[in-house]
């Protein structure tokens, strides 16, 4: 039984990046799709697709520049044992705004920059740079 599917997703991506794999495959969920969309929009992955073979899976295509991964760090912030919530005034700044933090708000998942523009706080899911 898996208690934290988001941590599992981030770990699978980190492991694939560590051995220079072109893609990472994981169980499918709507939350993971939204997270993949944010990573793609931020330029950290080159794409994703849903695979429908029995149990649906999510395949994330990793992005490399001159044989080096674009993702340098992928860190889970809010965990099942310790949830981290922030107000709109205390949204995190990742690597002097060179990275992104993914925030779960009342309007769905978004980056810390989008949440700051809209004026929303929420749960800090992860940080990427």
CATH classification of the domain holding 111: 3.30.1490.10
Residues 9 and 64 in one domain: yes
Over residues 50-93, the pLDDT tens digits come to 999 899 999 999 999 998 999 999 999 999 999 999 999 999 99
Query: What is the chain's mean pLDDT, rounded?
Result: 96
Residues 62 and 78 in one domain: no
Local confidence band at 12 (pLDDT 50, 70, 90 cut-offs):
very high
Residues 92 and 50 in one domain: no
How much is the pLDDT for 2? Answer: 80
Do 71 and 18 touch, CB atoms closer than 8 A?
A: no
Tokens at residue 17, please? 């990046």
pTM across the whole model: 0.93
How much is the pLDDT for 125? Answer: 98
């Amino acid at each position: 039984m898996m208690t934290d599917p988001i941590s599992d997703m981030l770990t699978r991506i980190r492991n694939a990046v560590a051995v220079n794999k072109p893609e990472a495959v994981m169980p499918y969920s709507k939350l993971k799709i939204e997270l993949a969309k944010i990573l793609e929009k931020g330029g950290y992955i080159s794409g994703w697709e849903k695979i429908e073979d029995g149990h649906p899976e999510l395949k994330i295509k990793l992005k490399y520049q001159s044989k080096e991964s674009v993702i340098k760090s992928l860190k889970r912030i809010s965990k099942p044992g310790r949830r981290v919530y922030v107000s709109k005034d205390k949204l995190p700044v990742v690597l002097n705004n060179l990275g992104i933090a993914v925030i779960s708000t009342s309007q769905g998942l978004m980056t810390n920059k989008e949440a700051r523009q809209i004026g929303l706080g929420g749960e800090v899911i992860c940080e990427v740079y």
